[in-house]
Structure formats: C-alpha cells, structure tokens
Structure 1
Amino acid sequence: KLFEANAYRDYLELHGLSVQLAEALAEYWHARVRAELGIADHDPAALDGMLRTEYQGCRYSLGYPACPNLEDRTKIAHLLRPERIGVHLSEEFQLHPEQSTDAIVVHHPEASYFNAGGRA
C-alpha cells in the first residue's frame, strides 16, 4: 500500500525493518533449537562471536553461497507444506508473503558454511 501510494521512503524503511526482524527471528529460533539440544552453553558470550558463528551448528538458507540453488526450496516445501500456515512458493522459488524464511539447520560439531580454512 505504501509503494502504491508513492510513499517510497516509508515503504523502504518498513521493508528494511521487516528484513531485519525476519533474520532476527530466524536466529532466535536457531538459538532456541541449540538450547533444547543442550549445546547452547558453548555459544559465545559476545556479539562479535555470534556474528562470526562461533557456535555449534549452522543455519543454511537457500539462495546464499552455501546453498545457492533456490530450486531446492521445492523439496523443503514438499516436506513441510508451508501453505498450511499461509506461506506459498512462487514460480521463482521465492516464499510469499514477503519476508517469510526457511532454512536447513544442522548441529553437527563440524558443520560450517565453507570448509576452506576451517569455520567461517
């Protein structure tokens, strides 16, 4: 509605906020999973350690360098059936509504984003 009303600044600010909130919520749930698995006690105390992913496990999101093939999202959608909660997959393999997110969460001690030179 903001975009259609030519309220571009308000639209961009709201969009930016929604992007950051979606990422924060995904990280929150990843932390909750680590806590429930009993491995969160190894999480770094400082923010910079969290940003460098100095904790056990990884949260892989499709479309990023570690998992670049967006078409793989169809496999996840087939298993999880996101339409049950109002989320749909577009022909371009994007989730709608906008700012919906998915990920593959792996908690093996050796999981990392890239193996070149150790943990990323």
Structure 2
Amino acid sequence: EENLKSEELLSENYQGIRPASGYPACPDHTEKAELFTLLNAETNTGITLTETFAMNPASSVSGLYFAHPAAKYFVLGKICRDQVEDYARRKGMNVKTAEKWLAPVLNYDPE
C-alpha cells in the first residue's frame, strides 16, 4: 500500500501505470465511450463526452489503472491496413472511421 504526498502523485511517483485513450499505448479515443458505458460514468460523475470524445468538464481525466509493480508504459507502433481492417471489424465500425481515430499510428495514407 502506498501513502504518497500530493507532490509525489503529481510527479507520478506511484507504482504502476495509467494508460489512457488517445495516448500512445491506446490511440483510439472511441474507447472512452466503452469505459464510460461500463462505469456508467455520466450518471455517477456528471462528466460527459463530446462528439470528439473530449471530456467535459475539461479538467476531467480517465484511464486504465494498473498498480502491478512490473507494469510498464509502452507505445503502439505504426499499424498497417490489414490491422486497421481487422480492428474495425472487431469494433463494429467501418474502416474509414477506424482510420480517422487511428490516424496518428497509421503506416499508410488512407487516401
């Protein structure tokens, strides 16, 4: 169990990681909608998502919290068209939409 001071928390001196949608390990912002649904976040917190998946109020944060001492951040590398097509199929979205949300990590020009 950790007992950290505010400064230590702000400096991220805690055990584990907090990857979040839209950041290098989880580039797809649409995953925030899944998280909000699972947690009933709007009802429980009053935080809402915009059509671009920004949170309102703007000072809100969300993420996945892993407190394991061996947890390490990672970056998703560039992905190819076949990976985007597979991802879109599994998410139930069309490829163009998947390309929009995954644009920073595409290894090709979606045209």
**Cα 1:55/1:72, change in 2 over 3 Å:** same
Percent sequence identity is 34
Q: Is the counterpart of residue 104 in structure 1 residue 64 in structure 2? A: yes
Aligned-partner Cα distance in 2 for 1:97–1:81: 16
**Which structure carries more strand by proportion?**
1
Determine which of 58, 61, 64 is the counterpart of 2:20: 61
Q: Which residue of 1 aligns with 2:38?
A: 79
Q: Give, in angstroms, the shift of residue 56 of structure 1.
A: 2.4
Determine which of 64, 74, 89 is the counterpart of 2:49: 89
Gaps spanning 5+ residues in structure 1: where? 1-37, 116-120
Q: Which residue of 2 aligns with 1:70?
A: 29
TM-score normalised per structure 1: 0.49
| 4+ residue segments displaced more than 3 Å | none
Determine which of 57, 74, 85 is the counterpart of 1:114: 74
Contact 2:24 2:74 in 1 (8 A): no
Deviation sequence 1:30-75 (CA, Å, 0-9, x none): xxxxxxxx2x27x7xx96xx84x56421111221112211111111
Higher RCO by CA contacts (8 Å cutoff, separation 6 or greater):
2
Q: Give, in angstroms, the shift of residue 109 of structure 1.
A: 2.1
Aligned-partner Cα distance in 2 for 1:69–1:112: 19
For 1:8-87, list aligned pairs within 5 A: 38=1, 40=2, 51=11, 55-84=14-43, 85-87=45-47
The amino acid that maps onto 2:60 is S
